[in-house]
Structure 1
Amino acid sequence: MNSDIQQVTTFFNKKRFRLTVLILILGMAYVGASFGLGFQTQSLLGVQDGMIWLLKNFVPNATSNGYWSEILQQLYRTFLVAVTSTTCAAVVSLFLAILGAKTLTVSKALSWLIRGFSSLMRNIPIVAWAMILLFSFKQNDLTGFLALFFMTLGFLTRAFMETIEDFGTEKIQALQATGATYLQVIFQGLLPEVAVALLTWVLYMIENNVRDATLVGLLTGTGIGFIFNLYFKSLRYGAAGLVVLSVIILVVTVELISNLVGRLLA
């Protein structure tokens, strides 16, 4: 009995020690970053003043209602860029995932190559993609499309590969034992089984890209991100607040539709 109590006490002492070390490391990191940036903790006391200013200036008013037409037009463009980049990336990702999945690949070297490619593409942040592409394609919708496309391509390729591999080698071997060809296994056996899971990933990425498209627009000078930047810099805070409200409504609407479609397909 005493040995059990001693083991429990030792266990909790180790946990407490690790927690203390973690808190100390975080505290030291905060202090070091504060000194490096010249940040003063007293500045946090002024947060409430900033929030009051935000509520006074960013609340849409009667004057900002005249911007609805322009905002909706740019919001629509942003939505189209997000949807088209996601759907185009999904088609390419499906092709790469079939070639890269361990259960279907024709070559282990090809599988590792595709896996490395997808990891590289999805680990480059969307902001980095936009900044890189700006050098070649300048500020236009194509730059935003490509930035979203490349990031989505890496993410969906990896997600599709894992979904296809969950289908199982045994099922594929059973189909091949009946005389099914490679293409028949894919199009008549695999895809009908995993279609719902793949579509769920596509819907998720559409939601994610609608949010990211706004940020990309700030860098590429297009869409809803561009007019937010324009309104904000020209001190039209009510109109800028209306942009934020419209983006929130769009994101929530897309998420609700995505969840509804997911439930209907389940």
Structure 2
Amino acid sequence: MDVKILRKKKMQLTLMFIIIIVITYLSSSITDFNFIESIATIPAAFTWIFSNLMITQDSFEKLPNILVKLNETIFMSIAATTIAAFFSIFLALLGSKTTKTNNIFSIIARFVASLSRNIPVVAWSLILLISFGQNSLTGFLALFVGTLGFLTRAFIESIDETNQSSVEALTATGATYFQIVSKAVLPQSIPQMLSWILFMIETNIRSATLVGILTGTGIGYLFDLYYKNMNYPVVALITATIVISVIVIELISNQIRKVIL
């Protein structure tokens, strides 16, 4: 019996492997992608990077302006995440099986989360760009909408994973809905929720760079400006500041996670 199961699994894996190869080949043919030529261009690409993307003394003159735009990007990401987290908690309470008030509100909350989560932040930027134009509000709203869907889904899962015994105990004593949520559900869920919020802050800082290119705001705007002007030393400096800031924020958030979890 075990031999038959192993053979069946082996056949399934082989079939999946063949399907992946066929899909890859068809995709390469349709898009005219040549894997061998791509590999051959890698040395030339690295040569260009080391020849052009070098930070020079002159590029450091732009550092104060770069730091201003970087701070703008970071604080916009934090604001979008925290405000989205506030609304996500209410949507998660309505959408969770543990705390839902009725099925209609639960379906609406899950639909809102699914819609905003499944449309990429870049797509939201393009959609909002048409209505609000190139400004900080567009970038903020794009990050806010994308974060709202992700955090709502994550918070729903966090609430559903709470210990049901405390909820049942409070229900048995005749506690109100708000008492159950505040005394049993949220105290258990908040550490995990804070962890997800920190994760989204990191993610949004990375996403905000690309959003800024589209909306003409923050560090993404500077990157796009100097790249189009072919001022590659400044582009290298901007890239370095983004990488360093993301690493520092990730280290800080990891330390916070160790404390709260």
TM superposition score category, shorter chain reference: over 0.9
Residue of structure 2 equivalent to 1:85:
80
- Whole-angstrom CA distance in 2 between matches of 1:160 and 1:30: 39
- Pick aligned residue for 1:128 from 110, 118, 123: 123
Q: Structure 2 matches for 1:90-101, cutoff 5 A?
A: 90-101=85-96
**2:219 matches 1:224:** yes
Q: Label 1:19 to 1:74 Cα distance change in 2 as closer, same or farther (>3 A).
A: same
Please say if residues 103 and 168 of structure 1, whose CA atoms lie closer than 8 Å, have aligned partners that are also in contact.
Answer: no
Structure 2 residue matching 1:29: 3-state secondary structure: helix
Residue of structure 2 equivalent to 1:115:
110
Deviations 1:96-155 (A, max 9, x none): 111221111111111011111110011111011111111121111111000000010011
Residue of structure 2 equivalent to 1:196:
191
Q: Report the aligned-residue RMSD.
A: 1.9
Deviations 1:139-189 (A, max 9, x none): 111110000000100111111111111114443121121232211111122
Residue of structure 2 equivalent to 1:162:
157
Larger radius of gyration: 1
Residue of structure 2 equivalent to 1:52:
47
Give the TM-score taking structure 1 as reference length. Answer: 0.91
Which residue identity lines up with residue 143 of structure 1 in the other structure?
A: T
- Pick aligned residue for 1:214 from 205, 209, 213: 209
Residue of structure 2 equivalent to 1:15:
13
Per mean C-alpha deviation after superposition, the further-off stretch among 169-178 and 9-18 is 9-18
- Whole-angstrom CA distance in 2 between matches of 1:99 and 1:181: 15
Which residue identity lines up with residue 19 of structure 1 in the other structure?
A: F
Q: Label 1:42 to 1:198 Cα distance change in 2 as closer, same or farther (>3 A).
A: closer
- Whole-angstrom CA distance in 2 between matches of 1:227 and 1:43: 30
**2:185 matches 1:179:** no
Residue of structure 2 equivalent to 1:32:
30
- Whole-angstrom CA distance in 1 between matches of 2:35 and 2:160: 52
- Whole-angstrom CA distance in 2 between matches of 1:84 and 1:261: 18
Q: Label 1:15 to 1:188 Cα distance change in 2 as closer, same or farther (>3 A).
A: closer
Q: Label 1:9 to 1:172 Cα distance change in 2 as closer, same or farther (>3 A).
A: closer
Which residue identity lines up with residue 31 of structure 1 in the other structure?
A: S
Percentage of identical aligned residues: 40
- Whole-angstrom CA distance in 2 between matches of 1:87 and 1:239: 31
Q: Label 1:169 to 1:243 Cα distance change in 2 as closer, same or farther (>3 A).
A: same
Count of matched residue positions in the alignment of Structure 1 and Structure 2:
261
- Whole-angstrom CA distance in 1 between matches of 2:7 and 2:196: 46
**2:250 matches 1:255:** yes
- Pick aligned residue for 1:237 from 232, 239, 242: 232
Structure 2 residue matching 1:60: 3-state secondary structure: coil
Structure 1 residue matching 2:41: 3-state secondary structure: helix
Residue of structure 2 equivalent to 1:150:
145
Deviations 1:208-260 (A, max 9, x none): 00100000000000100000111111121000000000000011111111100
Q: Label 1:208 to 1:73 Cα distance change in 2 as closer, same or farther (>3 A).
A: same
Structure 2: runs of 5 or more not aligned: none
Structure 1: runs of 5 or more not aligned: none
- Whole-angstrom CA distance in 1 between matches of 2:19 and 2:125: 39
Which residue identity lines up with residue 30 of structure 2 in the other structure?
A: G
Per mean C-alpha deviation after superposition, the further-off stretch among 49-58 and 212-221 is 49-58
